[in-house]
Chains A and B, each alone.
Chain A
Amino acid sequence: MARMRTNTARIRLLASFVAAASLVALPGCDDSRAHRAPGTIQVDIENSPPSTDPRFATDAISSRINELIFDSLVKTDRNGQFAAYLAESIERPSETDIVFHLRHGVRFSDGRELTARDVKYTYDSVLAPESISAKRGSIEELKSIDAPDDYTIVMTTAHPYAPALELATQGIVPYGTPLPSKAHTPAPMGSGPFQMVGYTRDESAILVRNPYCPYPQGAPRTILFKVVPDPTVRALELAEGVCDFSGNNIEYDVLPWLAAHKYLAISKTPGTTYKYLSFNFRDPRLRDLRVRRGIAYSIDRATIVNAMLRGTARIATGLLSPENWAYNGGVTGYTYDPEKARQLLDQAGYPAGSDGMRALKFEYKTTPEGARLGEVFQAMLQRVGIALTIRTLDFATYYADIQSGNFDLTSLQWVGINDPNHYYMVFDSKKTPPGLNRGFYSNPAMDRLVEAAMRTLDRAERARIYAQVQQLAAEDLPYVSLWWVDNVAVMNRRLVGFDAYPNGSLRSLATLTLTTPGKAESQ
């Protein structure tokens, strides 16, 4: 009897525990929604920004966040053109000199005024050998930078360099900001609309307003960037109303489900991210233009865009999207035509066997995320008799292989192409690995054109040269152009006035209007 009482007591204890747990849980459930102070928005990101210092960060997520904190001499506008920002005017007195006249009254978040001394210091600290910054390579054309007075900066390039304004996109930090490699230093200050007040790697970054930078009434005062690695969970957070904004990191498959939530809005705008299929020109079979064209004709890009990407992309003609000032859309195209592909492959000396397959077997390297697209290519190429073996690798291994040119075929994308000089970076024969010409493409005609365009300062003449570059790239096929990825942002309707930039910039988060809660609370 005593034992039974003990058991009953235990059951009661267990029941009390469960009840207590529920009580603790219930306030907790509100926690995720109610913790936000008025004026705060949460933006979900897939990875943590590796660096909070604009002198070192080169990845997309860091760049997006840093753009809200740091100002640069110029910024790109929505057409990918460089426009003066910290500089109120720009002069080019010679082919190698650029003079920037700075705006007065721009202040860092501690109230100090931003002057030419800060700009010069920022660039000098990147260029200092001890910085070992990943950005040194991107400003290697910069020979010197001088600050003759507090509001003038003179940049001198080693040669006449047409895309020189790209050098002026570096985020500016205050004079004396130490290099992060020397100590675990807090995030540097900037003169942009926000300052970073909290950063926990792999968890979150908290941005609050720079008190010396005016902002529109009703705009967000705090942005919480939360790291949510799982794409499904990012979608759930949007649906639950925990997250207010997720940009270019939601899977296409869940977009219709999210669209069914009346408090969520989906913004789909043309983007400049360029997706391509790359060949390795060290393989003699792929050096044959007929084989490359055969592959190009066998890929049904329209079907992939409509079925797999749910219409969130535009068929590409080359690296430059229609928004770019140098875009040439009238180049050779490769509409899906398997019969033409078979003819080209026959002409190249690879006739189909009795099983329909040819002596063409390639390895397609990809990551787990890219495996689905690889399977689509595999099925499409099989229709014309080409066998594709898919090799799925973890990203670091895959990237190491691609960087060293160790692949037959692969598909990657270029994000944030602004200046057409990108053609030089990826197709010039001097840029083979460790450069960005990973497929070892070499064509003297292409070299001549891209090098001439890089040294030509006249915009109209550059545009004429790049029109030829785009036609040559379309004919010679160092890449098969696949599509330009749309910018897809899913946001809570309480965010009003989000202005999407083709390059995916989140700059508009600083100026949009935050209305009263419009999320699921009303449901």
Chain B
Amino acid sequence: MIEYLARRLLALVPVALGVATLTFAIIHLVPGDPVVAMLGESAAPADIVAMRHQMGLDRPLLGQYLSYLGGLAVGDLGESTSYRRPVSRLIAERFPATIELAAAGMLVAILIAFPLGIIAGSNPGGAGDLGAMGFAIVGISVPHIYLGPLLMILFSLDLRWLPLTGRGGFAHLILPAVTLGAALAAILARMLRQSLIRVRESDYMRTARGKGLSERSALIRHGLRNALTSVVTIIGLQMGALLSGTLITEMIFSWPGLGRLLIGAIGARDYPLVEGCVLTFAMTYVVVNMATDLLYAAIDPRVRIS
């Protein structure tokens, strides 16, 4: 187990290197000058030269890349050109908000998906199945940018139950989390339904029924755990979509997370901040998938981590 973990952690290094290299190349290739973005068009040419020098942008690209990698090796992500503060500190300030939102979105997705999936999977073709899958189709089809304002109108404007925007207490988290988690809930519900339909025909389910368990009890006690393996895989894989969904959700709900920081950084051509944010998102995705692999063993005794 420890050896497995060490191996997976070691594999993070080339992934980080790849992500860092790709991000560095892409952000430097796209048009747009961070110096002009900072100083504006009416800046004096001498100031543009001085600022370019101060930011190290007058050095050869390879030199800039090697400095960036050198910084990364010692945990230094550089200084944001638009905020004039260390990137690592900015990320440390914003990342908890994004994690909070993503975790809440995931929780909402699970809370919605499990009952729907079980209802649909326990009686395929029935009214419950049709209703649950209808809901799932709506969940997948409605984009965040539309669902968010719709929920705001209903729960903030009309019912006046929840605050519109910003980050505060639990109440502030509900609408962004539902907006973010709705699509994932739909995907998970469909996946759980399929898995349950598959396991219903298994030998052990027949045995359970033969022992006198009701269909529902057999499904929940024996079928659900077996069906969960594929659902957990999807949860891990969908973490990327969930994290990218935070970008839009954070903009809609004025949520002060990493997504907004990244969008602003791209607009300002803030190279160090873009690189730092993308690297953080990528590493989060990889770590979550690693955790998903470990979770298999907890769910399915046949899986042994080695």
Partners in one complex: yes
A-side interface residues toward B, CB under 8 Å? 3, 7, 21-22, 24-29, 31-32, 48, 50, 58, 129, 132-134, 136-138, 140, 180-181, 184, 200-203, 226-230, 232-233, 236-237, 239-240, 242, 394-397, 399-401, 403, 434-436
In chain A, what residue has the closest Cβ to B267?
Answer: A396
Give which listed residue, B50, B161, B164, B170, contacts A236 with CB less than 8 A. B164
Query: Which residues on A sit within 8 Å (CB–CB) of B261?
Result: 202
Nearest 8 pairs between A and B by C-beta? Answer: A28-B171, A396-B32, A32-B163, A137-B42, A400-B32, A134-B39, A400-B31, A25-B171
B282 at the interface (CB under 8 A from A): no
Please choose the segment from B1-9, B17-25, B152-160, B286-294 that sits at the chain A interface, where 4 or more of its residues have CB less than 8 A away.
B152-160
Query: Which residues on B sit within 8 Å (CB–CB) of A58?
Result: 40, 42
CB distance from B234 to the nearest CB of A (A): 23
Once the chains bind, are B50 and A132 in contact (CB under 8 Å)? yes
B300 at the interface (CB under 8 A from A): no
11 new A-B contacts, CB < 8 A, other than A31-B169, A239-B157, A240-B156, are A27-B171, A50-B82, A58-B42, A129-B50, A202-B261, A203-B166, A226-B166, A230-B254, A236-B156, A237-B164, A436-B41
Give which listed residue, A3, A133, A242, A397, contacts B30 with CB less than 8 A. A397
Once the chains bind, are A233 and B50 in contact (CB under 8 Å)? no
In chain A, what residue has the closest Cβ to B156?
Answer: A240
Question: For the complex, what is the distance from the CA of A364 to the CA of B231, rounded to whole Å?
Answer: 47
Once the chains bind, are A32 and B41 in contact (CB under 8 Å)? no
Once the chains bind, are A397 and B32 in contact (CB under 8 Å)? yes
B206-253 residues with Cβ-Cβ distance < 8 A to A are 217, 220-221, 251-253
B47 at the interface (CB under 8 A from A): yes
Once the chains bind, are B39 and A132 in contact (CB under 8 Å)? yes
Question: For the complex, what is the distance from the CA of A425 to the CA of B256, rounded to whole Å?
Answer: 38
CB distance from B37 to the nearest CB of A (A): 6
B149 at the interface (CB under 8 A from A): yes
Once the chains bind, are B47 and A136 in contact (CB under 8 Å)? yes
CB distance from A12 to the nearest CB of B (A): 15
Once the chains bind, are B36 and A28 in contact (CB under 8 Å)? no
B71 at the interface (CB under 8 A from A): no
Once the chains bind, are B162 and A29 in contact (CB under 8 Å)? yes
Q: A201-B83, A233-B152 are in contact. Are A403 and B254 (CB under 8 A)?
A: no
Question: For the complex, what is the distance from the CA of A203 to the CA of B169, rounded to whole Å?
Answer: 16
B-side interface residues toward A, CB under 8 Å? 30-33, 36-48, 50-51, 54, 82-85, 148-149, 152-153, 156-157, 160-166, 168-172, 174, 217, 220-221, 251-254, 256, 260-261, 264, 266-269
Q: A21-B170, A239-B157 are in contact. Are A233 and B84 (CB under 8 A)?
A: no
Once the chains bind, are A434 and B45 in contact (CB under 8 Å)? yes
Question: For the complex, what is the distance from the CA of A232 to the CA of B153, rounded to whole Å?
Answer: 10
Once the chains bind, are A232 and B149 in contact (CB under 8 Å)? yes
Query: Which residues on A sit within 8 Å (CB–CB) of B32?
Result: 396-397, 399-400
Once the chains bind, are B85 and A184 in contact (CB under 8 Å)? yes
Once the chains bind, are B153 and A134 in contact (CB under 8 Å)? no
With most chain A CB atoms within 10 A of its CB, the pick from B220, B260, B268 is: B260
Query: Which residues on B sit within 8 Å (CB–CB) of A233?
Result: 148-149, 152, 164-165, 252-254
Question: For the complex, what is the distance from the CA of A134 to the CA of B217, rounded to whole Å?
Answer: 71
Once the chains bind, are B256 and A200 in contact (CB under 8 Å)? yes
Query: Which residues on A sit within 8 Å (CB–CB) of B252?
Result: 230, 233
In chain A, what residue has the closest Cβ to B217?
Answer: A3
With most chain B CB atoms within 10 A of its CB, the pick from A31, A133, A233, A242 is: A233
Q: A24-B169, A25-B174, A138-B42 are in contact. Are A32 and B164 (CB under 8 A)?
A: yes
CB distance from B209 to the nearest CB of A (A): 16
Query: Which residues on B sit within 8 Å (CB–CB) of A184?
Result: 84-85
CB distance from B289 to the nearest CB of A (A): 29
Once the chains bind, are A242 and B164 in contact (CB under 8 Å)? yes
Once the chains bind, are A397 and B31 in contact (CB under 8 Å)? yes
Once the chains bind, are A237 and B165 in contact (CB under 8 Å)? yes
Question: For the complex, what is the distance from the CA of A48 to the CA of B153, rounded to whole Å?
Answer: 25
In chain A, what residue has the closest Cβ to B42?
Answer: A137
In chain B, what residue has the closest Cβ to A204?
Answer: B166
Once the chains bind, are A136 and B260 in contact (CB under 8 Å)? no
Once the chains bind, are B40 and A134 in contact (CB under 8 Å)? yes
In chain A, what residue has the closest Cβ to B268?
Answer: A396
Query: Which residues on A sit within 8 Å (CB–CB) of B171?
Result: 24-29, 31
Question: For the complex, what is the distance from the CA of A134 to the CA of B148, rounded to whole Å?
Answer: 38
Give 17 CB contacts A-B under 8 Å: A25-B162, A27-B171, A28-B163, A28-B168, A29-B162, A31-B168, A32-B165, A136-B44, A230-B254, A233-B165, A233-B252, A236-B164, A395-B267, A396-B30, A396-B37, A399-B37, A436-B41
Query: Which residues on A sit within 8 Å (CB–CB) of B33?
Result: 400
CB distance from B195 to the nearest CB of A (A): 20
Once the chains bind, are A21 and B157 in contact (CB under 8 Å)? no
Once the chains bind, are B44 and A25 in contact (CB under 8 Å)? no
CB distance from B165 to the nearest CB of A (A): 6
Query: Which residues on A sit within 8 Å (CB–CB) of B38?
Result: 134
In chain B, what residue has the closest Cβ to A140?
Answer: B44
In chain A, what residue has the closest Cβ to B44?
Answer: A137
Question: For the complex, what is the distance from the CA of A346 to the CA of B31, rounded to whole Å?
Answer: 37
CB distance from B230 to the nearest CB of A (A): 23
CB distance from B40 to the nearest CB of A (A): 5
Once the chains bind, are A136 and B43 in contact (CB under 8 Å)? yes
Once the chains bind, are B43 and A236 in contact (CB under 8 Å)? no
Query: Which residues on B sit within 8 Å (CB–CB) of A399?
Result: 32, 37
Question: For the complex, what is the distance from the CA of A36 to the CA of B164, rounded to whole Å?
Answer: 15
Query: Which residues on B sit within 8 Å (CB–CB) of A21?
Result: 170, 174
Query: Which residues on B sit within 8 Å (CB–CB) of A134?
Result: 38-40, 42-43, 47
In chain B, what residue has the closest Cβ to A401?
Answer: B31
Q: A200-B256, A400-B32 are in contact. Are A29 and B160 (CB under 8 A)?
A: yes
Once the chains bind, are B163 and A236 in contact (CB under 8 Å)? no
Question: For the complex, what is the distance from the CA of A395 to the CA of B85, rounded to whole Å?
Answer: 24
Question: For the complex, what is the distance from the CA of A184 to the CA of B161, rounded to whole Å?
Answer: 39
With most chain B CB atoms within 10 A of its CB, the pick from A28, A31, A48, A397 is: A28
Once the chains bind, are B256 and A202 in contact (CB under 8 Å)? yes
Question: For the complex, what is the distance from the CA of A31 to the CA of B50, rounded to whole Å?
Answer: 48
Once the chains bind, are B41 and A434 in contact (CB under 8 Å)? yes
In chain B, what residue has the closest Cβ to A31?
Answer: B163
Question: For the complex, what is the distance from the CA of A463 to the CA of B15, rounded to whole Å?
Answer: 65
CB distance from B116 to the nearest CB of A (A): 14
Give which listed residue, B85, B220, B254, contacts A203 with CB less than 8 A. B254
In chain A, what residue has the closest Cβ to B51?
Answer: A132
CB distance from B178 to the nearest CB of A (A): 12
Q: A31-B168, A134-B40 are in contact. Are A394 and B266 (CB under 8 A)?
A: yes
In chain A, what residue has the closest Cβ to B47?
Answer: A132
Q: A202-B264, A203-B256 are in contact. Are A403 and B41 (CB under 8 A)?
A: yes
With most chain A CB atoms within 10 A of its CB, the pick from B36, B40, B165, B253 is: B165
Query: Which residues on B sit within 8 Å (CB–CB) of A240?
Result: 156-157, 160, 164
Query: Which residues on B sit within 8 Å (CB–CB) of A32?
Result: 156, 163-166
